[in-house]
Structure 1
Amino acid sequence: MTKLGTLLFASTLLFSSCQRSGGCGCEVDDPYAKGKGDLKVSSNIVQPGTRVAGEVWEASDAIGIFALNEGQALGATNYATNAKYTTASAGNSVAFTSVADGINLPSTGNIDLVAYYPYKEGVTTELAFDASDQSKPALIDLLYSNNQKGLNKQNEKANLVFSHALTLVEFNITTEEGLAINDGTIALKDALIDGKMALATGAITTGTKTATPSVKVKSVGTNKYKGMMILPPQALAGKEVTFTLDGKTHTAPLKIAQTQSGLKYTVEATYKKDKNQEETKLVIVEGATISPWKEGGNNGDVIVIGGEEAPVVPPTPQPEPNPGADTEPQPEPQPSEAKPLFPGANFDDFEAFKASLNDHGLNALASQVDGGKTGKALHITGKPKGNDYIFNTTAQAGGPTSGKTISFYLKGTSKKSISMNVITTDNTTFAYNLDAVGEKGHVVGPDDGNIVLQPNAPKESKGKKIPANSYTQGGIDTKGQWIKITLNIEGKSLATTGDLFAFKVGGKVDVDLMIDDFTIE
Structure 2
Amino acid sequence: MTNKTKAIPDQNIFRIAYIIIALLTFNSCQKTETRIDRAAVLFTPTIVGQINTQTTESFWNKNDQIGVYMYKADQPLAAISLIDQVKNYPFTFNGSVFQSNSPVFLPNENVDFIAYYPYKSLADFQYPINISDQSNPAALDLMYANNAKNIGKNNNTVPLIFVRQLSKVNIKLSITNTAALEANQIIVKMPAISIQGGFDLTTGKLTVNSTEKKDVQKKVSLNTNKTAHIEFMLLPGEDITGKAIKFIATNGNTYTWTIPQNRNLKNLIAGSQYSFDINIDNGKPSGGIGESQAYLEIPKMSNLSSDEVFIQHFMPDASDSRNYAMLYEKKLKMAYWVAYPLYNSVLGSGNRTDAWG
The whole-number CA distance in structure 2 between the counterparts of 1:270 and 1:56 is 30
Q: Distance in 2 between matches of 1:84 and 1:60?
A: 11
Cα distance between partner residues in 2 of 1:158 and 1:392:
22
Partner of 1:116: 116
| Aligned equivalents of 1:209, 1:221: Cα separation in 2 | 38
In structure 2, the CA distance between the partners of 1:122 and 1:246, relative to structure 1 (3 Å rule), is: closer
Q: Which has the larger radius of gyration?
A: 2
TM-score after normalising by structure 2: 0.67
Once the two structures are aligned, what percentage of the paired residues are identical? 22
Other-structure match for 1:81: 87
Match of 1:264 among 269, 273, 290: 273
194, 204, 207: which is aligned to 2:206? 204
Separation in 2, partners of 1:186, 1:169: 12
1:71 & 1:222 partners in 2: Cα distance?
55
* Amino acid in the other structure paired with 2:87: T
Distance 1:379 1:213 in 2: 39
Corresponding residue number in structure 1 for 2:7? none
Which residue matches 2:155?
Answer: 155
Distance 1:121 1:368 in 2: 31
What does 1:212-291 correspond to in 2, within 5 Å? 212-219=215-222, 222-233=225-236, 234-247=238-251, 248-255=253-260, 256-273=265-282, 280-285=283-288, 287-290=289-292
Match of 1:69 in 2: 72
Q: Which residue of 1 aligns with 2:166?
A: 166
Question: What letter corresponds to residue 301 of structure 2 in structure 1?
Answer: L
Q: Deviations over 1:467-511 (max 9, x none)?
A: xxxxxxxxxxxxxxxxxx59xxxxxxxxxxxxxxxxxxxxxxxxx
Change (3 A) 1:235 1:358: same
Superposed counterparts of 1:408-419, under 5 Å: none
Cα distance in 1, alignment partners of residues 59 and 342 from structure 2: 33
Task: Check the 8 A contact 2:155/2:306 in 1, yes or no.
Answer: no
1:259 Cα deviation after fit: 0.6
Is the 1:191–1:239 contact (alpha carbons within 8 Å) kept by the matching residues of 2? no
Question: What is the alpha-carbon distance in structure 2 between the residues aligned to residue 368 and residue 192 of structure 1?
Answer: 32
Whether the aligned pair in 2 keeps the contact of 1:363 and 1:391 (CA below 8 Å) is: no
Q: Report deviation, 1:376.
A: 6.0
Q: CA deviation at 1:182?
A: 2.8
Give the equivalent residue in structure 2 for 1:357. 301
Deviations 1:45-76 (A, max 9, x none): 22455535736645543210011211111122
Q: Call closer, same or farther: CA 1:58–1:282 in 2, change over 3 Å.
A: same
**Equivalent residues of 2:51, 2:273 under 8 A apart:** no
Structure-1 separation of matches of 2:126 and 2:116: 10
Higher relative contact order (CA 8 A, sep 6+): 2
8 Å CA contact 2:324–2:338 kept in 1: the answer is: no
- Secondary structure, counterpart of 2:354 in structure 1: strand
Task: Give the letter aligned to residue 249 of structure 2.
Answer: L
Matching residue's letter, 2:159: N
Contact 1:240/1:254 (8 A) holds in 2 = yes
Contact 1:165 1:202 in 2 (8 A): no
- 1:392: Cα distance to partner? 12
CA RMSD of aligned residues (A): 4.0
**Which of 435, 452, 455 is residue 354 of structure 2 equivalent to?**
452
Distance in 1, matches of 2:351 and 2:197, equals: 46
Contact 1:75 / 1:124 at 8 angstroms: preserved in 2? Answer: no
The Cα of 1:217 is off from its aligned counterpart by 2.1
Report deviation, 1:284: 2.8
Distance change (3 Å), C-alpha of 1:360 and 1:232: closer
Distance in 1, Cα, partners of 2:290 & 2:148: 32
Q: 1:35–1:56: structure 2 CA closer, same or farther, 3 Å change rule?
A: farther
